[in-house]
Structure 1
């Protein structure tokens, strides 16, 4: 069955990326790897994550290492689902560069602000207001190959849409357009 190397899910905290990724992983007929920026972040001791002065000094190089690990994981030959909150241009640059040799669908995971805030409160393990802050910048990196909405569509519908996308044989183009845009910006500078 033809398929892309990966689906890169980008959305705010509490948008439903993890739920979507794990459900898609279970629905696929072959082994699919699930990689997440959170899994890298939570390798860090809890006291470091709570320290506002130390946290950025640890998280920035750690997330850069996560980005650099993506082609190694994709090189295993199994499709993968990447769960990320892309908050910075340099992160997007690292991801686009690291995955330049792979077919990767860039997918927007969307959810209305009111629902994001409701989910933050209901979960109890999220800083209320974090998703609102992320919403201001997480989707600013150009267009996507596909979009899913975890509020207006059921989990099953979103999983089926992503499963079809992954197995469609259609060539992903959003990251290629992003790389071309960034190259043009650098050439103009």
Structure 2
């Protein structure tokens, strides 16, 4: 079965940075695809749904550094992006890339799935 690690978080929360670090640590080749709504396409895959949290002051600082987003968009995302979601794992980007990659890999290798993806397709 194909496997997917789905990182879900507000704009500037660190999803792309974590995804790039995961790619370097994984034994199997993987793609990093930025997505919003591919729920139906995930039906045939083993999905690990991971929430990526980041404190609002850090989101705002990262957003300013990026310079490619409207000011306040990350904070708006953070206020609603996780509402009502059921994840397999939740991480905080302030814990550091290496710690988050290890936490995600451990969860992925455990084969324990409890997210809305695994519940929808069981």
**TM-score, L = length of structure 1:** 0.58
Q: 2:85 aligns with which of 142, 160, 164?
A: 142
Task: Call closer, same or farther: CA 1:139–1:155 in 2, change over 3 Å.
Answer: same
CA distance in 2, matches of 1:136, 1:121: 18
Question: 1:23 maps to what in 2?
Answer: 21
Question: Does 2:93 correspond to 1:154?
Answer: no
Give the aligned CA root-mean-square deviation in angstroms: 1.9
Question: 1:102 maps to what in 2?
Answer: 45
Task: Call closer, same or farther: CA 1:4–1:101 in 2, change over 3 Å.
Answer: closer
3-state SS in 2 of match to 1:128: coil
* Structure 1, gaps ≥5 residues long: 38-85, 181-189
Question: Does 2:67 correspond to 1:124?
Answer: yes
Are the equivalent residues in 1 in contact too, given 2:86–2:114 (CA < 8 A)?
no
Larger radius of gyration: 1
Structure 2 counterparts to residues 25-40 of structure 1, below 5 A:
25-37=23-35
Name segments (4+ residues, structure 1) moved above 3 Å: none
Aligned residues: 120
What is the CA distance between 1:4 and its match in structure 2? 6.6
CA distance in 2, matches of 1:4, 1:155: 25
